[in-house]
Structures are given as C-alpha cells and as structure tokens.
Amino acid sequence: MLSIDSKIAEDTAISNYITPYRQQLEAKMNEVIGTSKENMIQNRNLPETLLGNFFTDAMVNIGRNIDPQVDFSMATKDGIRSSIKAGDITVGTIFEFMPFENLLVILELKGSDVLRLAEFIAESNGQPISNAQIVIKGKKLMDFKIAGNTIDPNKTYKLITYDFVANGGDHVRGLDKPVKSVTTKQLVREGLIEYIQGLTKAGKQVESKLDGRVKIIE
C-alpha cells in the first residue's frame, strides 16, 4: 500500500502537460448560460419542489421540439444531483445538476401503464412531473390527470424521461411494456443547457413555481 498525500512532490512535467487542458475545461465550465430568479434547492423529502418542476417543465419543452405529441414528463428525486442557486447559471452548474450521460427517451404508454406509473409516484410520496397532476393520500393514488384530463386506460400517452428511468432505474414501475420506445440522441444535460440558452436569448430568466401538481392530502 502506498500513501498518496501532500508529502509527495508534484511532478512538474505532468502538471505542465495538463495545465492547458485544465484551463480550457475551467473556462468552459465557468461559461454563463443564464440566470435563475431564485434558489431552487434539491430536496428528496418534499413531494413537489421548484427544482423538480423546473426540470420536468424543461423536459416537456425539449421533448416537444423532438415530438410535438409528448404529453407529460417524469423524473425522480434521486436523479437530481444538486441545487440551482439564484444568480448566474454556468455550464458547470448543469454538469453538477445532471452529471450522468443520460439520453432523453420518449415512451408511448398504454393508459393502464400510466396508472401503474402513477401508483409508483404515489407510493414514493411524489416524484417530479410536468403537464400532469397527482393526488396522494397515505402513499396511495387518489387521482392522476394529464393536462387536467382523467386517464383513459385504452388510450396511449407519450412520456418523456431519460434512459435510466425508462429502464427501471430507481425502482420505477409502469415503463417496462411501452407500446413504443424512442431513445433520442439528446443528452439530458445538453438539452438543459440549450433550453436555458434559449431562454436567455429570449430575454428570460430561469424560474419555477409550486402549482400543486403533486398534492398530498390527509
């Protein structure tokens, strides 16, 4: 066993070799792509958060640029890895938020499987969703709607999420038998960066709000 600590002298040849690459990487990570109006804090315990709403709203927007028929989006609280603070948002901010090489996936689901997914969301005390509304009581599903409409078990609905979730990550249920599955070439992280840059070009800030899309009742 070799102890690696500050007692070991730096190899200047290696340091000099990697310095230009480090400087390029730091310059890219520090590039400002937008601004956030407020702190959006990561919190795995709350059923609905500003951060989760921002993320899933962004996914719907990105997804509809790929397929205009995307109905709703869903992520998991554990999949969000860091907060977004008020002020400048950099490329590095989004790398910290979504550090994985996840690709966006569009799943066409039977209404009956959408309800299975809703039951999972209820049992886990809420997960980030967009263009959908869920009512939960005692971790049981009371109601689930997409765009204000009750789910028809015989219809199909298009969900945008990312490949980790689509493949059953975080124990998500209801996504294992899609009518159709399309894995896009769009990395989640790159999609978010482009989405924020688009807001900035339009003179808008990144913002979110709590709107009761995940409701827990006694």
Of 19 and 75, the structure prediction assigns the larger pLDDT to: 75
Number of domains in the chain: 1
Find the domain containing 103 and state its range.
15-217
| CATH value at residue 31 | 3.90.780.10
**Domain assignment present for 7:** no
- What sign does the dihedral 206-209-214-218 (CA atoms) show? positive
**Domain assignment present for 3:** no
- Those residues whose C-beta lies under 8 Å from the C-beta of residue 87, and which sit 6 or more positions away, are 35, 36
For the segment 137-164, what is each residue's pLDDT rounded down to a tens digit? 999 999 999 999 999 999 999 999 999 9
DSSP H helices, the chain, are 12-29, 50-66, 91-97, 111-123, 163-166, 188-201
Whole-number pLDDT of residue 190: 95
**Domain assignment present for 67:** yes
For the segment 5-55, what is each residue's pLDDT rounded down to a tens digit? 888 888 888 877 787 877 887 888 999 999 999 999 999 999 999 999 999
